[in-house]
Amino acid sequence: MVGGGARNSLLCQFAADATGLPVIAGPYEATAIGNVMVQAQALGRVSGLEESREIIRRSFEPIVYRPGDPKPWDEAYERLSEARERARAADA
């Protein structure tokens, strides 16, 4: 996850918990960093995409959010599914 959402640790942890996958939060200002790297490439200061990626990897330490207990997310999904079924039945 990059950009403004990566600043929100609760959002990152919820995403990891809900998906059951680790979430890697990268630079907050990903768009600006990408813009700088494209300009550096255009000026010949950086050889290309691979070098740009390496510079970014060395410059920003990612934060890894590990999945927690999926039970609350699974229960919420079940409640949502039941509510959708009730709404469909009411519309029929």
Full pLDDT tens readout for the chain, 92 residues: 988 899 999 999 999 999 999 999 999 898 999 999 999 999 999 999 999 999 999 999 999 999 999 999 999 999 999 999 999 999 98
The predicted pLDDT at position 64 comes to 97
The per-residue pLDDT for 92 is: 82
Supply the pLDDT for residue 28: 86
Contact predicate 37/31, CB 8 Å: no
- Note the CATH number of domain 4-91: 3.30.420.40
Residue 48, Cβ neighbours under 10 Å: how many? 9
- Quick one: 49 exposed, middle or buried, by C-beta within 10 A (0-12, 13-18, 19+)? exposed
Among candidate residues 7, 6, 25, 8, the one with its CA nearest the CA of residue 66? 25
d(Cα 19, Cα 62) in Å, to the nearest integer?
19
